[in-house]
Amino acid sequence: MARLFLYIFLFSVLILVLSFSVNNSHPVTLNYYIGESELPLALLMVFTLSAGALLGVLAVMRPMLASRMEVSKLRRQLRHSEQELNNLRSLPVKER
């Protein structure tokens, strides 16, 4: 049932994007530092949105990778500590 709602939502978004593209198909001039080009407004907005999303993902990746590395390090330490504890538990007890 949830999958059906997801498909309906994605289909609705697709229809909105297509109608947006049709309504904004007028060419606009994009000025670079070394030149210029004409692109449809909808295409320019899609490129801009994609570049922003990519930069956002890249900005989030570094802290995420650092966190994963720290979790990995802490798991290794935990495994080592558990192994050491098991080794200490298996030693015979000396009575005085």
Backbone φ, ψ for residue 28 (5° rounding): -125, 155
Which pTM does this prediction carry? 0.56
Tens digit of each residue's pLDDT (9 = 90 or more) over 54-92: 999 999 999 999 999 999 999 999 999 999 999 888 888
CA distance 48 to 61: 20
Number of H helices, E strands in the chain: 2, 2
Tens digit of each residue's pLDDT (9 = 90 or more) over 29-64: 988 888 898 988 888 888 888 999 999 999 999 999
CA distance 15 to 31: 30
